[in-house]
Amino acid sequence: MTKHKVRVIVTLKNGVLDPQGLAIKHVIDSLGKTGFEEVRQGKMFDLVVTAETSQAALAAAQDAAKTVLSNPILETFVCSLVS
């Protein structure tokens, strides 16, 4: 069994209004910075998972992301192995 680090990024689904992202974009725009078409805010989680293989760790992280870390009505997620 070894330790694996998995990074989970949770973001709002496309089409779900992100008032925080809009507010952040508004500030960036107000600073005179140009070219920012859109800002969407999300959450990042770093998980350290003990498992036989990296694929098993990734699968465990995906299960946690699906059941706990994200709300499937609003959000979607991506899990990736860091180490």
Alpha-carbon dihedral sign for residues 13, 83, 61, 47: negative
Residues that bind other proteins (CB under 8 A): 16-17, 19-20, 23, 68-69, 71, 73-74
Q: Closest CB to other proteins among 23 and 82?
A: 23
Strand partners, 73: none
User: Which one, 49 or 64, has the nearer CB to other proteins?
Assistant: 64
CA–CA gap between residue 46 and residue 38 (Å, rounded): 25
Choice between 27 and 48, CB closer to other proteins: 27
Q: Shortest Cβ distance from residue 81 to other proteins (Å)?
A: 22
Minimum separation from the CB atom of position 61 to other proteins (A)? 15
Contact 10, 69 (CB under 8 A): yes
Residue type, 55: Q
